[in-house]
Every structure is written in structure tokens, then in C-alpha cells.
């Protein structure tokens, strides 16, 4: 207390100083709030994991792009038709274009020659995507994997990402089903017990009674023919005998082959797609599938391989769809949808249930699968050469 000779004045002087100190403190707090909060907010933003910041930016940019153009085939259509991605990201519209086998390559290359870069994602077979890669039409896909659960290789079969390409960064196989060799037969004219081995098809009894899809046309027969060609119990010699000694009739019309089988013009159908055969059987036609090759089983995507085109019109939307599809949620949706449609459905992720997948497609530890999507097994030219030489020999005879 300050003694001035007037007690009241002393008190007043003390209170004025208190007000001054309070005012200064208030101004200091305001200054700290004005200058400190942005830094605190920035610090909070900086505390986000790098992947999360990148993902949020990608999603926002994808929403602004507004759509993703997916080039695929009807076998993978069930994934898109669920609408699951659209529900999660309603701002990104899916535009899908269905093509088959070589038709896809022809279309894409024709578009690019015309300077039109329309595709954002390819979901097709490994062979199709390999052709795109060889033509320089793919960007590395690996940098587009952003979600930790997708990047984490322990979530995938054998503890590694299932890449198709040798560089292990361009073509991702999201479906990998165990695929035993199957061929069709007329159930009224063939007793399946007559076949104990695939080699029984070489029996002269069946000569002239076999129709086969011409695998040179693409679409069907690619992976089964590669499995047989590279299998130690069958190999090139088996294919030479099949094409050279059975008087097989080749057709590039899969529906026609099925019709011929159903009416009994031919009794066995080789390299024919199993799904139309199953559907025909359900409709009451006398056709069925024979599974006799227990020692030659492929690991095949059957169209479930993904490539990321370069010069995409919607790169961010493509990344959002890609990471969603490869996430646990996306793979559960994909696996269930494909299984319900009766197409190969076994996801390469191992952290999801396989209850939806037919037992015959399950992968088993210790089984030696012929990995028909492996780059070293994709070359179809040696197999085509066998067919062409056999056909020339038949014509000469």
C-alpha cells in the first residue's frame, strides 16, 4: 500500500495499477490466441500420417473429377453392379465398358492411335494387361496403393502382393482361384466313368466326336491350355496328340459349340467355358462338366487382374476405386458378387472369410499350382504353333 497522506487516494492508485496489469494480460492472451491457434492447428494437421493426408487429398480430387472409366469384361461386372463403391463415394460415378479378350486390346490401341485416352482402369486377364504393358500403355500401379491395409503384404496370400508382371508393380491379380481342368460332355451319350485320366480323351473311340473352342481367338481356353502345356504330366506332346490325332473340330463360336454338344453332334467339348455349360445344365439341357484332372490345377485370375493405364482422364478417381477394390471391404464385396454369378471368385486377400467361394476354388497350403498368370507362362505362341502345325498335317492328309 502506498501512503500519500490520503488513504483513499492510495487505494485508488493501487486499483488503477491492477486494472492496467489485467488489461496488459488480456491483450497478451488475445495476441497469443490470434497468433498461436493457426500454429496449433497446423501442428494437428502435421500430426496426421502421411498416407492419410495423401488419401484425403486424392479422395477430394477424385470427387471433383466426378467419374472413373473402367474397361473390363462381363465376368467382373458383378463387382460394379453391386453399387457398393457408388454408395461409399456417391460423387464418383462409375462408367464401365465391357469387352472380351483380344477385343479389349484392339479397342484400346485403336483409341490411342486416334489420340483418345479414355480408360482409367483395366480389369481383365493377365495376358491382356501384359500386352498393354508391353505396348507402354500402363503406369506403375504400386505407387497408387495408398491405404495401409492394402499396402500391408501380410494380408495377401503367401504374404506378398500377387503381381503378374516381372517388375512386380504394374499388374495386380486380385482374384486367384484354384482351377481344375474341366471339359464338357453330353450326359446322354457319354459315361463319365469312362474317363480316369485326361489322356483317355485320346482314345480312338472319341475320334471325330470332339468340338473345341479355337483358343487362338482369345476369350476361352487360354489358362487351361497353358496349364497343360507347362504341366510335367502332360506338356506339349499331349497337345500335339490332341490336335493331331483326335480329328477335333475347332470353332470360334462358343455358343455354337455348346449347341452342338447339347444336340449330340459332338459328345465332348474341349476348352469350352464352364459357366455357359453350367447354365445350360440348369436349363435342363443334357450337358455337364467333367473334372478328372486332380494332379493339374491352375491358379488363375480369369479376368481378375488390374492394370492402371497411363494418361488417364481421371487419375485420382481411379486411385480411389483401386484402393477401395483392394481393401478388405472391397474384396469382400467382389468375392461375394463374383461367387453369386458363378465365376471364379477367390480373393487373394487372406483376411476375409471364404464361405462364399465354391470349395473347388479354395487354395490349399502345400499344393503345387501351375501359376498360369506368371509372366513366363503367358506366351501362347508355342501353343498356337502346335495347333497350326497339326491343322496343316490334317489338310495334307
Angle, vertex CA 99, rays to CA 98 and CA 101, nearest 5:
145
Question: What confidence score (pLDDT) does residue 119 get?
Answer: 96
C-alpha grid cell, residue 301? 485370375
What angle (nearest 5°) sits at the alpha carbon of residue 145, between those of residues 71 and 132? 35
Instruction: Provide the grid cell at 384.
Output: 498356337
Mean pLDDT of 138-148: 97
Most confident of 10-24, 59-73, 380-394: 59-73
Round the CA-based radius of gyration of the chain to a whole number and report it: 32
Q: Name the percent of the chain lying above pLDDT 90.
A: 61
Grid coordinates representing 130 are 501384359
Question: Please, is 59 exposed, middle or buried when counting C-beta atoms within 10 Å of its C-beta (0-12, 13-18, 19+)?
Answer: buried
- SS3 per-residue string spanning 348-363: CECCCCCCCCCHHHCC
Higher pLDDT, 291 or 280: 280
> What is the residue-averaged pLDDT of the chain?
86
318-376 per-position pLDDT tens digit: 999 999 999 999 999 999 999 998 888 999 999 999 999 998 899 987 777 888 878 78
When pLDDT is averaged across residues 177-196 and rounded to a whole number, the result is: 91
pLDDT of residue 46: 58
Domains of the chain (ranges, CATH numbers) = 1-37 (no CATH), 50-176+302-363 (3.40.190.10), 178-299+379-396 (3.40.190.10)
pLDDT at 31: 52
Q: State mean pLDDT over 42-63.
A: 85
The larger pLDDT score, comparing residue 232 to residue 40, is at 232
**Residue 254's CB: how many other CB atoms inside 10 A?**
20
Which of 268-277, 360-369, 387-396 bottoms out in mean pLDDT, i.e. has the lowest? 387-396
Distance of alpha carbon 264 from alpha carbon 317, whole angstroms: 50
**Per-residue pLDDT, 181:** 83
pLDDT tens digits, one per residue of 99-139: 766 688 889 999 999 999 999 999 998 878 988 999 999 99
pLDDT over 80 (residue 390): yes
Residue-level pLDDT at 157: 94
pTM, two decimals, is 0.73
Cβ-proximal residues to 310 (8 Å cutoff; 6+ apart), any chain? 136, 137, 138, 139
β-strands 177-186, 268-270 pairing: antiparallel
Who has greater pLDDT, 266 or 396?
266
Report the C-alpha gap between 329 and 95 in whole angstroms. 21
More confident residue, 30 or 100: 100
CB 285 within 8 A of CB 263: no
Amino acid at each position: 500500500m502506498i501512503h500519500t497522506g490520503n488513504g483513499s487516494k492510495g487505494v485508488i492508485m493501487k486499483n488503477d495499477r491492477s486494472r492496467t496489469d489485467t488489461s496488459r494480460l488480456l491483450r497478451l492472451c488475445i495476441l497469443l490466441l490470434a497468433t498461436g491457434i493457426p500454429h496449433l492447428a497446423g501442428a494437428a494437421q502435421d500430426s496426421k500420417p502421411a498416407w492419410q493426408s495423401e488419401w484425403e487429398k486424392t479422395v477430394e480430387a477424385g470427387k471433383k473429377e466426378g467419374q472413373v472409366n473402367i474397361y473390363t469384361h462381363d465376368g467382373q461386372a458383378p463387382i460394379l453392379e453391386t453399387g457398393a463403391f457408388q454408395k461409399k463415394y456417391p460423387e464418383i460415378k462409375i462408367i464401365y465398358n465391357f469387352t472380351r479378350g483380344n477385343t479389349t486390346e484392339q479397342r484400346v490401341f485403336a483409341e490411342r492411335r486416334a489420340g483418345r485416352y479414355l480408360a482409367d482402369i483395366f480389369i481383365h486377364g493377365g495376358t491382356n494387361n501384359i500386352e498393354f504393358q508391353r505396348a507402354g500403355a500402363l503406369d506403375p500401379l504400386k505407387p497408387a496403393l495408398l491405404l495401409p491395409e492394402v499396402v500391408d503384404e501380410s494380408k495377401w496370400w503367401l504374404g506378398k502382393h500377387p503381381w503378374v508382371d516381372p517388375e512386380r508393380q504394374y499388374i495386380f491379380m486380385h482374384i486367384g482361384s484354384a482351377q481344375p481342368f474341366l471339359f464338357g460332355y453330353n450326359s446322354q451319350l457319354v459315361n463319365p466313368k469312362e474317363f480316369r485320366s485326361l489322356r483317355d480323351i485320346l482314345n480312338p473311340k472319341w475320334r471325330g466326336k470332339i468340338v473345341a473352342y479355337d483358343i487362338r481367338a482369345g476369350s476361352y481356353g487360354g489358362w487351361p491350355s497353358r496349364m497343360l502345356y507347362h504341366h510335367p504330366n502332360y506338356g506339349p506332346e499331349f497337345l500335339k496328340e490332341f490336335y493331331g490325332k483326335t480329328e477335333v473340330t475347332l470353332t470360334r463360336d462358343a455358343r455354337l459349340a455348346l449347341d452342338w454338344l447339347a444336340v449330340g453332334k459332338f459328345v465332348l467339348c474341349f476348352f469350352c467355358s464352364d459357366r455357359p455349360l453350367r447354365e445350360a445344365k440348369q436349363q435342363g439341357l443334357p450337358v455337364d462338366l467333367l473334372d478328372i484332372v486332380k494332379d493339374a490345377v491352375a491358379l488363375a485370375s480369369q479376368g481378375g487382374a488390374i492394370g492402371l493405364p497411363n494418361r488417364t482422364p481421371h487419375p485420382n478417381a481411379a486411385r480411389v476405386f483401386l484402393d477401395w477394390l483392394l481393401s478388405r471391404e472391397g474384396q469382400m464385396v467382389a468375392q461375394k458378387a463374383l461367387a453369386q454369378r458363378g465365376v471364379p471368385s477367390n480373393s487373394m486377400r487372406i483376411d476375409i472369410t471364404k464361405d462364399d467361394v465354391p470349395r473347388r476354388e479354395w487354395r490349399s497350403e502345400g499344393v503345387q499350382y501351375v501359376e498360369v498368370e506368371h509372366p513366363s507362362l503367358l506366351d501362347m505362341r508355342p501353343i498356337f504353333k502346335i495347333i497350326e502345325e497339326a491343322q496343316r498335317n490334317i489338310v495334307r492328309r
